[in-house]
Structure 1
Amino acid sequence: MTSHSRVKIPAGFWIGLKQLGIAAQDVVRKARLPLTIITEPDVTSAQYLAIWQAYSDLIDDNAKGIIKLTTGFETAHYPPSILATYHARDYRDALKRMARYKQLCPPESLRIIEEGEHCTIELDWLDLDQPVPPLLVGITLAFLLELGRRGTGQPLTARSVEFSHVIGDVQLLEAYFGCRIRLGANCNRLTLYRGDLDRPFVSYNAELLEILTPVLDQSLNEQKRSHSTTDMVKWITKRNLTGGRPDIQAVASELGMSDRTLQRRLSEEGTNFKHLLTQVRHEQAREYLADPSLDIKEVAFLIGYEDQNSFYRAFRLWEGDTPSNWRNEHLAIN
């Protein structure tokens, strides 16, 4: 996603800030954006991140900002895509709807993994040109738990929460989530107790869902058609690289088409799946190597290589140098 991609800002966002005693005008001025942004239905991704960074700067502590906005945001101000999760049948249904309809409001995407007694939700970001404010990361994960609490009417707690960056008063967040917080992780993720996903929502509204679901699905399908197949494949591949090699069948399934149809569409756009996989790995390798906190072995794993030697061979083909030398040269420049 480039800085020119569009992101919808629900009107309820500004109302929520006002309830916290923060004026929309103050946020916009802090972000150095025109005041007309407040009445715009959508903004660029760069403006979206600037708004969140401004809110973070105006709050004493990121943890306080996360909890205040998450708990203080009234259900009545939820946009349609969030209402469709709040009125879901149960917590599992709500989370699946959240992951699906998040696609209508980039730049975030959610990956839900149910395994054993736990359910892990990983937060990813589409190709952004600038860092994501930690406060936005925290609010996104906190709201997933808040959704379960409001929907079930129960004081649910998380099993664990992991953040890749410093997030403010950790003890305050641990009290909110009801679990330990880990900082410096390689991914932002919320882990829930799988049994909680079966809890029914007291806010379940079948009639409202019958109205909302077709409209949201139609919007989602129209949005997907507006993106090139190449962009969609790269996005999905990037999300599923870690620790494995995504195959064309899995990507095609996520796009709702056969692998033969996917191959044909990529061919029409002048590319193929193997080339895109290599391209994504190369792009991600450069991004991860620019982070000195990641060792080479971890970078290899993050882009889907089972052993470090295979990664070294591939990287030499891409850059004509070893990952270590490339990192040292680029870190010295920066």
Structure 2
Amino acid sequence: MTSDTRIKFPSGFWTGVQQMGVPPHEIARKAGLPLTIIHEPMVTSSQYLSIWQAYSDLIGDTSEAIIRLSTGFETVHFPPTVLAAYHARDYRDALTRMVRYKRLCPPEGLLITEDGDECSIELGWMSKDEPGPAVLAGITLAFLLELGRRGTGRPLTAKSVELSCLPGDVQPLEAYFGCRVQTGGNRNTLILHRKDLDLPFASYNAELLEVLTPVLDQSAAEHQSGNSVTEMVKWFLKRSLPGGRAGIEAAAAELGMSNRTLQRRLHEERTSFKHLLTQVRKELAREYLADPSLDIREVAFLIGYEDQNSFYRAFRLWEGDTPSRWRTERLGETP
């Protein structure tokens, strides 16, 4: 995704900040954008990120900016994608819809995984060269919990939260999420109690969903068909490898298609799932090995290998050398 990619901006944002006492024109000016941006349904990727950063700067405290917008956004101003989640059957259905329809509003995407007693939702940026501001990551994750609270009518709490960056005091966010918030890592992740996903939504509206779902599903399919399946699979793999969900079945489910359809689409783009998996592992291995803070075992895990020996064998095939020697030559370190 380039900085001039056109993406849809939620119109309800401007109404929401106005109700919070933050004039939209001040956000536009703070972002260095013309006032007409307030009425533009589509903005560039760089404008999108600038607007969110300007909002955070005007509030002055990132945690406060996250909580105020996540809790202060009235239901009547929800866009159709969020309305479909708010009126879902239960919390699991709502989260599934949020993940699927989030693809209509890049530059961020969501990956959901259920394992044991946990449900993990990780936010990833479509472009590693243009990650979003801390306030956007925080609001995205906070609203997923807020959605569950509003839908179920219960004071749900998270199990844990990880934010890659959070300037300022973390305590207000810990009070909001009801758990510890870790910062300074390389992920933006919300961990929920899996049992909460079975809770029914008091806001369930089958009639409204019958109207919204076909339209949104068609939009999602059209959006997906306009993108390279190769790039979407690579993005999925980069987010999924550490969690062990890097199989073609999981990728197909995430992209809303059958295994056979995914294989066919990749064949049409002259590649295969196996080739992309190897390619992503090679790219990530080089990236992680360039970080001296990661040991070889951690690198092996991060690219989806259960043991270090398997990683060593694969890396020799890729580079003709061991990971430790490859790192030494490039970083000038002793093995």
Shift of 1:302: 1.6
The one of 321, 330, 335 equivalent to 1:326 is: 330
2:5 aligned partner: 5
2:99 aligned partner: 99
Cα distance in 1 between the residues matched to 2:137 and 2:332: 30
**1:57-78 CA-partner distances (Å, limit 9, x unpaired):** 2222110110111111111110
Shift of 1:98: 0.9
RMSD: 2.7
Cα contact 1:104–1:223 (8 A) shared by 2:
yes
Could you state the TM-score of these two structures normalised by the residue count of structure 1? 0.88
Q: Quick check: 205-214 or 251-260, which moved more?
A: 251-260
1:326 aligned partner, one-letter code: R
1:137 aligned partner, one-letter code: A
Structure 1 pair 33–115 and aligned structure 2 pair: CA distance change class (3 A): same
Cα contact 1:312–1:323 (8 A) shared by 2:
no
The answer as to 2:312 corresponding to 1:309 is yes
Cα contact 2:117–2:193 (8 A) shared by 1:
yes
Cα distance in 1 between the residues matched to 2:153 and 2:215: 27
2:272 aligned partner: 272
2:195 aligned partner: 195
The answer as to 2:211 corresponding to 1:207 is no
Cα distance in 2 between the residues matched to 1:328 and 1:55: 43
Any unmatched runs of 5+ in structure 2? none
Matches within 5 A, 1:151-166: 151-166=151-166
Cα distance in 1 between the residues matched to 2:69 and 2:269: 43
1:332 aligned partner: none
Cα contact 1:7–1:44 (8 A) shared by 2:
yes
Tell me, what secondary structure is at the counterpart of 2:155? coil
Cα contact 2:238–2:280 (8 A) shared by 1:
yes
2:56 aligned partner, one-letter code: S
Q: Quick check: 226-235 or 153-162, which moved more?
A: 226-235
Cα distance in 2 between the residues matched to 1:264 and 1:24: 46
Tell me, what secondary structure is at the counterpart of 2:191? strand
Tell me, what secondary structure is at the counterpart of 2:158? coil
Matches within 5 A, 1:20-39: 20-39=20-39
Cα distance in 1 between the residues matched to 2:70 and 2:262: 40
The answer as to 2:204 corresponding to 1:234 is no
Cα contact 2:14–2:24 (8 A) shared by 1:
yes
Cα distance in 1 between the residues matched to 2:331 and 2:42: 38
Shift of 1:261: 4.5
Cα contact 1:296–1:323 (8 A) shared by 2:
no
Shift of 1:79: 0.2
The answer as to 2:74 corresponding to 1:70 is no
Shift of 1:285: 3.6
Q: Quick check: 47-56 or 253-262, which moved more?
A: 253-262
Cα distance in 1 between the residues matched to 2:55 and 2:320: 44
Cα contact 2:85–2:93 (8 A) shared by 1:
yes
Tell me, what secondary structure is at the counterpart of 1:275? helix
Any unmatched runs of 5+ in structure 1? 330-334
Q: Quick check: 298-307 or 61-70, which moved more?
A: 298-307
Shift of 1:85: 0.7
Cα contact 1:151–1:201 (8 A) shared by 2:
yes
Q: Quick check: 48-57 or 307-316, which moved more?
A: 307-316
Tell me, what secondary structure is at the counterpart of 2:7? strand
**1:72-113 CA-partner distances (Å, limit 9, x unpaired):** 111111000000011111111111111111111112222222
Aligned length: 329
Shift of 1:311: 6.2
Structure 1 pair 3–313 and aligned structure 2 pair: CA distance change class (3 A): farther
Cα distance in 1 between the residues matched to 2:227 and 2:137: 25
1:131 aligned partner: 131
1:12 aligned partner, one-letter code: G
1:313 aligned partner, one-letter code: R
Cα contact 2:84–2:97 (8 A) shared by 1:
yes
Cα distance in 2 between the residues matched to 1:287 and 1:53: 28
Cα contact 2:62–2:166 (8 A) shared by 1:
no
Structure 1 pair 82–56 and aligned structure 2 pair: CA distance change class (3 A): same
Cα contact 1:315–1:323 (8 A) shared by 2:
no
Tell me, what secondary structure is at the counterpart of 2:127? coil
Shift of 1:146: 0.6
Shift of 1:178: 1.0
Tell me, what secondary structure is at the counterpart of 1:113? strand
Cα contact 1:312–1:322 (8 A) shared by 2:
no
Could you state the TM-score of these two structures normalised by the residue count of structure 2? 0.87
Shift of 1:37: 1.9
Cα distance in 2 between the residues matched to 1:44 and 1:324: 41
